Amino acid sequence: MKIVVIQGPNLNMLGVREQQIYGAMKLEQIHAQMKDFATQSGIEIEFFQSNFEGELVDKIQECYGEASGIIINAAAYTHTSIAIRDAISAVSLPTIEVHISNIYRREDFRKQNMIAPVCTSSIVGFGPYGYHLAMVGMIQIFNEIRAMQEMQKQAQNSSEN
C-alpha cells in the first residue's frame, strides 16, 4: 500500500507564516512524523509540495495506478480549484483532505470548499495532528477495502464450488 501526501501553496512556509493559525511546526517535521508512522504500519509514503496548481493536478493524476490513496492539503486551492477537484474525481482513489486550521471558522471565502465533495473524508482544525488522523483514517480505509475484497473472493469461491 502506498499513500501520496500532496501539499499545496504556502505549506512550505509552515513554522514561519501565521504561527497563531498554523502553529510552529515545519512541513518537514510533519512529514517526518508521517514517515515514522507509515514505516511502523508497513505503508509506503511519498511527499509532494507545490505552489503551482497545474503541478498539483499532475501529481494527483500520477497517483492513478501508482498509489493506493491520497492525503491532500490543497491549501488556498481548496476554495478555488475545479481542476484539482476534477483530478481527484478522475483518479477514483481514497482521498482524505486535511486542513491545519478550521476553515469553517475563518474568513467567509475559506468556507467555500471545492474539493470536499469528491474526497472520501475531510479533517479540519486539528493542527498538524490532522495529518496523523488522516494516516489512521487511510489505514482504516485500506483495511475495509481488503475485507471487502476478501469477502468477494470467498463469495466467488463458494459459488464456484
Contact between 96 and 137 under an 8 Å Cβ cutoff? The reply is: yes
* Structure-block grid coordinates of residue 119: 474526497
77 is catalytic: no
99 is catalytic: yes
- The catalytic position among 31, 64, 79, 99 is 99
- The catalytic position among 22, 64, 77, 132 is 22
Rounded CA-CA distance 150/157 in Å is: 10
Angle at CA 60, nearest 5°, toward 124 and 11?
A: 45
Read off φ and ψ for residue 71, nearest 5 degrees. -115, 125
Which of 9, 8, 13 has the alpha carbon at shortest distance from 27?
13
Rounded CA-CA distance 82/100 in Å is: 21
User: What is the set of active-site residues?
Assistant: 22, 99
